A = this chain, B = another copy of it.
Amino acid sequence: MPPARRSSTASSKISAKPAAAPADIPALHLTRFLPYRLSVLANTVSHTLAKLYEKRFGITIPEWRIIAVLGGGETMSAGEIAQRTAMDKVQVSRAISRMLDSSLILRESGDTDRRKALLTLTPKALAIYAEIVPMALTYEEEVTDALSIDERAQLDTLLSKLQARADQLAARPAPVGAQTEPVEE
């Protein structure tokens, strides 16, 4: 610990006794806490997969998602992509701009509505799609191999239910009794 700005007491001899923590507060163990567990798991999985196709194709997660939704050869607008990939429009816009630079995507302005740009993958991107999909599916399988057939079905159900509920709670305006006050002291 090098340039540790000297803060108040800098000695040692810390009483091993938990100084505070009133007994009536329900304990929270991070490792049992659903949001934490989901976050860590999703992170591990995404990160591993991302490294795989970053190394192989030099694309990022947003780009991979766009390739995934356009991989069928379809054409759609940026807004549609945003919806389908659950990314926001800024992220999509930036990813598209990168993909234009690397000739992965083709942008044509629509006739009927010139605000909407119609986006299509180039053959180059389609080639990546053809290679990356099996890779992605293989990885998914490797992960789900940890589960039985029954458990995989359960997982599907659970994720759907949780997502539905999480969406519902996220949409909720504001926690009813929530003060907008920054902590009393």
Chain B residues, CB < 8 A from A82: none
Interface residues on A, range: 35 or more
Is B44 in contact with A42, judged by CB distance below 8 angstroms? no
Residue A126 is within 8 A (CB to CB) of chain B in the complex: yes
Q: How many Å from the CB of A17 to the closest CB on chain B?
A: 8
Identical chains bound together, number: 2
* A36–B86 alpha-carbon span in the complex (Å): 9
Is B26 in contact with A137, judged by CB distance below 8 angstroms? yes
- For A14, give its contact among B40, B42, B120, B144 (CB under 8 Å): B120
Is B38 in contact with A139, judged by CB distance below 8 angstroms? no
Chain B residues, CB < 8 A from A149: none
Known A-B contacts A154-B158, A166-B44; A85 and B30 likewise in contact (beta carbons under 8 Å): yes
Is A9 in contact with B108, judged by CB distance below 8 angstroms? yes
- Which A residues from 52 to 101 make CB contacts under 8 A with B? 52, 55-58, 65, 68-69, 71-75, 78, 84-86, 100
Q: How many Å from the CB of A10 to the closest CB on chain B?
A: 6
Can you name 10 extra interface pairs (CB under 8 A) apart from A38-B159, A44-B166, A47-B170? A1-B116, A17-B73, A20-B73, A26-B133, A27-B133, A30-B65, A30-B68, A37-B159, A38-B38, A128-B183
Is A166 in contact with B45, judged by CB distance below 8 angstroms? yes
Is A143 in contact with B162, judged by CB distance below 8 angstroms? yes
* A145–B185 alpha-carbon span in the complex (Å): 12
